[in-house]
Structure 1
Amino acid sequence: MPAQEHAPPPEQGGQAVAQTTSASYASPTDVATYGAYTINQDPADPRPLYRFTGRLTADGSSGYRAEPGRYHVYSGWFCPWAQRVTLQIALNGLDDVISVSYVDNSRDARGWAFRETYGPDPVNGFTLLRDAYEATEPGFDGHVSVPTLWDRETQRVVSNDFATLGIDLATQFTAWSNGADLYPEQLRAEIAELDSWIGPAVNRGAHRAAHDETARAALLDAFARLDRRLADTSYLVGGQLTEADLRLWVTLARYPGRANGQEQLDHPNLWAYARRLYQLPAFRATTDVTTFADPTVPPGWDTPTATG
């Protein structure tokens, strides 16, 4: 994906991103010189794809205590997995507790990089996100991904596991949050049950559906189930906004068919739900449609709908 011509303002979602005194940037994306980015994972390698799986805990028992100002999230506007995390930060009112910056939208074999598009790395002055991984594990040979959580205190990557990172942000920073509870204990089993079929069919199946008929059938079946579920409620679980909604919405926002009039007619409750969530300030602030779709917001996407 080519780099965008515009750059959002230095404050994203309320978080003022401190600038380094001397900006350092990676050279432009150059696949001809460096090759395309690939994920090399030896089937015999037991390590997970998302190799850094540290957990944040309020009491520090994990080795990484939840503290204001200690952690930084390297994110990407284009990435649904990263947006899950930035949404948690915004919805929990943690913008001044956990800082966020953004990598450029395109990459070559060097991986994600910091360029003029969104500014330099404000924490370490790295030019490549890979530098953070290399600083944590010299000779790093795995997947360089966003979101990446960096610990200023230990000077290392704590996690690039988007699933557990989002949960930790939702549950371990309550001392500094606005009181939102997006992962309530009494709803966690139901959230997990939903994820067991929404994850494969929607989150991981939406892109495959464009060229795989089996994946498309599973996706449309999931859309139908979701449409029925949302016929008389504004949210997926418990009548309130939860982690389940964040997980689904970031994929719906990037689904090419969201502008398809027939699909919206076939699943009116689902797409009304998606547009309704987009009206919430946190969803707007963490979304840049131009990084993953046509720069023109799809017709009706920005139109509020009735609740329920």
Structure 2
Amino acid sequence: MIPLRPLGVGEILEASVATLRRHWRTVLAVTVPVAVVTQIALVIVQRYLSVAQPVLHPDATPSEQLEAASAYLRASFAELAPSMLVSIAASVFVSALLTVVVSRAILGRPVTFSEAWQEASPRLPKLLLLSLALPLAAGLFSFVAMLPGLLLGDGGGAALAFLGGLAAFVVVIWLLIRFSLASPALMLERQGLLQSLKRSAKLVDGSWWRVFGITVLAQLLIGIFTMLLTIPFTAIAFALDGIEAGTGTAVSWTYLVVMAVGGVLSSALTYPIAAGVTVLLYVDQRIRREALDLELAKAAGLPGYSSTES
């Protein structure tokens, strides 16, 4: 599916799409059920846990404004937490199975859903821990960086908190890219959590900007593709049952169901592309650093190479 040499940006993106096109039965058997479950959970959250933005009196005191904002943030977190957990679990499941599918596709070997599940399922608990640990660590680090400013209060504290948050944002982005290849390392090399993080850091070392650029470009293209897919469903949803944001009324079932259908379609098609980019970046870095192309050629049984797998 890929040339056995260092890959260009276009080749990584093209191969990610090719995985969906060539192995669509297996890929959609993974992504469609997960997308449906995720959207059902989001619909339930938006229907029953949706929080209206508070409307304050113009003469409200700063303490009243702060109290209202705090209450709104707590309620918003209660709304977002279930959907975030469902999304993370769905991402872990899809990433694990699609990593197996893409790795087999690189060698030109088909894989069924049951085969992908059999190979990926033992690694799911560790992958879940990895997927939870990175965002939690990033959030904790950002909070600690902003804490002095938050404790100080007033205008100077706000400025200090902003600078701390900005510095934390830069560090978090650097770390997330540095550890972005830990997931395929964990799945394909059967590494432990810490070993996977160290493996990713080693592979990204010296190529941070390249990995960052390809990751951002892929996410941008996925975002544009998702937007184009969901625009018609958004228009239909508003045409059937328009809503006014911030009114405090529950969102209608019609609106939510139409939007959920668009979400299922976009998620089912973009999950494999996102997973494919990550796996192919991992493969590309190993080709550049460890001559993985020779091992892949042997594993694929290409003429001129030993058929013995490494």
Tell me which interval the TM-score lies in, with the shorter structure as reference length: under 0.3
Higher relative contact order (CA 8 A, sep 6+): 2
Higher percent of residues as strand: 1
TM-score by length of 2: 0.28
Give the greater-gyration-radius structure (CA): 2
Higher percent of residues as helix: 2
